Chains A and B, each alone.
Chain A
Amino acid sequence: MSREQIDWSALPEVPLPAALAERVHARARAAFERGRGEGRAADVAMFVAVTAAIAIYLGWAVEFLRAFAPT
């Protein structure tokens, strides 16, 4: 049988079962929304951490320079 004789239209349809579709959609969308929330929380945490690190460094630098200041 040559490739031209292969009847691809005979390939059976493979419908997505409705129950499976609903279940997977609900789980995946929940995971997507959870990831969005976690992403925002991570952004806020990163901002707070960077700001705190800069503040601590500046505080230390001020104290360090004050030690050399003429009395």
Chain B
Amino acid sequence: MGDDAPSTDLIARLRAGDASAFSEAYAAHAPATYRFLRRLCRSSALAEDLFQETWLRLAQHARGLRADTELRAWLYAVARNLVRSHARFALADAAGMAALAHWWYLDAPAPAPDEAAVAADAGARLVRAMARLPIAGREVLSLVAGEGLSVDEAARVLAIRPEAARQRLHRARAELARHLPKEEP
């Protein structure tokens, strides 16, 4: 998470109750927070609810943040914990697989027809395969492959040891590869 110095300044201003710092934090981290939640939840409505709840949690706890808090990791951790605590995934896991492939494209701009067909096919297969993973696999893959975090950073978000994160990532990748259908010749 290479923006430590600006993040430290931002945290200090958040702790001081600076409302413009809150808006800066939102502008910097809201898109990633939302993307992460959309990849964890199988319902867009649930992702939107938890996205709002994540930022309300920051509003509530900003004054009590530690000075060395890594804000992006903090937000990912809150979002992840909200998903986990949401009725034990009852809603997150109940939605159908077909709905998953659909909601990932709801807000995407429409590319050219040929490119769209190829990209959507590859993307949809990947989304469907990820949707079949257990939540622990989706979490670590979303953080490392989707958000570009290092394994150590993902481990901090997930509150596990780096070695455990590496093993979880390895298992998730292997399972994902099993779920991905073979390419047509």
- Chain A residues with CB under 8 Å of chain B are 1-3, 5-8, 10-17, 20-21, 23-25, 27-29, 31-33, 35-36, 39
Contact = CB atoms under 8 A, between A and B. Distances in A.
Given A1-B180, A15-B31, A36-B63, A28 B126 contact: no
Dominant secondary structure at the B interface: helix
B51 A24 contact: yes
A14 B34 contact: yes
B123 interface: yes
Given A21-B30, A25-B55, 6 more contacts: A3-B174, A16-B34, A23-B52, A24-B30, A27-B56, A32-B17
A39 B17 contact: yes
B119 A10 contact: yes
A27 B52 contact: yes
16 contacts: A1-B178, A3-B173, A6-B177, A7-B126, A16-B34, A16-B35, A17-B107, A21-B31, A24-B51, A27-B52, A28-B56, A29-B59, A31-B56, A31-B60, A32-B58, A36-B17
Interface residues of B, number: 41
A7 to B, nearest CB: 6
B150 interface: no
B39 A10 contact: no
